[in-house]
Amino acid sequence: MTFEEVKKNKEIQVYIKQADASLAALGFTNHSQSHIGLVSEKAGYILETLGYPERTVELVKIAGYLHDIGNLINRVDHSQSGAMMAFYLLNKMGFPPEEIAVIVTAIGNHDEGCGQPVNELAAALILADKSDVRRNRVREKDTDKFDIHDRVNYSVTKSELKINKAHSLIKLKLTIDTRMGSVMEYFEIFLERMLLCRKAAEKLGLEFKLMINEQQLI
């Protein structure tokens, strides 16, 4: 079973679409195909760059693609409900238990509320998910109606997550338009996520650095 087969699964597509629709109704930023696609790509990039086996890279991409599917049930504890949904769907598709186990573990541990980088897939997924801050995740078009999450995401005009050539450091580099949102506001809502990213990087043998407008903050 492959990542492409998971992406093409009609049942999974319906659940992902409805999960994002529910978040839209609640006023959350975009969690649609653009988000899960980017998270999947970044998670794969991390493990591929670090030399993990091709199949492990494939599995983390699947975890990235399915990581927010639990929002179909409720935003609260969505990582746990998403893990259970992924277990059912992947088992139904014929994935072996050994692969289902690591994917489900990663999904169940990706949220900063209670998650931890308990394995390499979880670590890569955390880094990929928490680094997806960008202007086009904001749904609200009227800037006067922005809440703090809208302002922070909208203020990010450029975001890069890169591993250095020595494979000793992973850096999240953001360019923020401070006319739209302040660096302090970024830390107000993302500090817990950045600290989890530091733990995730350590799990992969990396040091995590956060740079905003060319200033190193973590």
Q: What is the CATH number of the domain that holds 99?
A: 1.10.3210.10
- The C-alpha atoms of residue 84 and residue 70 are separated, in whole angstroms, by 8
User: Quick one: pLDDT band at residue 201, thresholds 50, 70, 90?
Assistant: very high
| Percent of the residues in the chain that have a pLDDT greater than 70, as a whole number | 100
Least confident interval from 43-47, 173-177, 179-183: 179-183
Res 73: pLDDT:
97
**The Cα angle at residue 196 between residues 175 and 146, in degrees rounded to 5:** 45
Res 181: pLDDT:
79
pTM of the model: 0.94
Mean per-residue pLDDT, 151-174: 95
Measuring CA to CA, how many Å separate 213 from each of 114, 125, 157, 208?
Answer: 30, 25, 10, 17
Question: Is pLDDT above 90 for 165?
Answer: yes
Question: Is pLDDT above 90 for 184?
Answer: no
- Tell me whether residue 124 is exposed, middle or buried, using C-beta atoms within 10 angstroms of its C-beta: 0 to 12, 13 to 18, 19 or more: buried
- Beta strand 169-176 pairing with 207-212: parallel
Mean per-residue pLDDT, 127-132: 96
Nearest alpha carbon to residue 138 among 156, 163, 112: 156
Mean per-residue pLDDT, 71-83: 96
What number of helices (H) and strands (E) belong to the chain? 9, 4
User: For residue 203, what are the domain limits?
Assistant: 3-216
Res 3: pLDDT:
96
Res 81: pLDDT:
97
- The C-alpha atoms of residue 70 and residue 51 are separated, in whole angstroms, by 30
Q: Where does the chain have alpha helices with state H?
A: 3-8, 10-26, 33-49, 54-66, 78-93, 97-108, 120-130, 148-155, 183-203
pLDDT digits (tens, 9 = 90+) for 132-146: 999 989 998 888 899
Phi, psi (degrees; rounded to nearest 5) at 177: -85, 105
Question: Is pLDDT above 90 for 44?
Answer: yes
Q: Say how many domains are in the chain.
A: 1
Computed over every residue of the chain, the mean pLDDT equals: 94
3-class DSSP state of 177 = coil
Question: Is pLDDT above 90 for 87?
Answer: yes
Res 148: pLDDT:
87
